[in-house]
Copies of this chain bind each other. A is one copy, B any other.
């Protein structure tokens, strides 16, 4: 079973290539997180928000990482960090895959 961690928070920038430049080392470090399957980095320059959508192979690591990442974001000065852990309904997700 896969567990999805959804995180978003107010973010005033940088965005795009500038965000990539300052966050590349952190992105590589996140790749080593126990239990991680993938992370999509999300950003919205108009709404001034950023976040991440993570898949983990177990719930314990998803919850552990949410706590760790929230503390890290707070140490960077972020606030109003919204984090939610869900299970993935694999059967429904498979049915929603578009035909090629």
Q: Which residues of A are at the interface with B, using a C-beta cutoff of 8 A?
A: 4, 6, 8, 16-17, 19-20, 23-24, 27-28, 30-33, 36-45, 47, 49-51, 53, 84-89, 91-93, 95-99
Most B CB contacts (10 A, CB to CB) among A6, A17, A87, A95 go to A95
CB distance from A92 to the nearest CB of B (A): 4
**Other CB < 8 Å A-B pairs besides A27-B95, A42-B89, 15 of them?**
A6-B6, A8-B86, A28-B95, A32-B98, A37-B98, A39-B96, A40-B93, A41-B88, A41-B92, A41-B93, A43-B89, A44-B84, A44-B86, A45-B87, A49-B84
* Contact sample, A vs B, 27 pairs, CB 8 Å cutoff: A4-B40, A4-B42, A6-B6, A6-B51, A8-B84, A8-B86, A20-B91, A24-B91, A24-B92, A27-B93, A28-B95, A31-B99, A32-B98, A33-B98, A36-B98, A38-B96, A39-B96, A40-B93, A41-B88, A41-B89, A41-B96, A42-B89, A44-B85, A44-B86, A44-B87, A47-B84, A51-B86
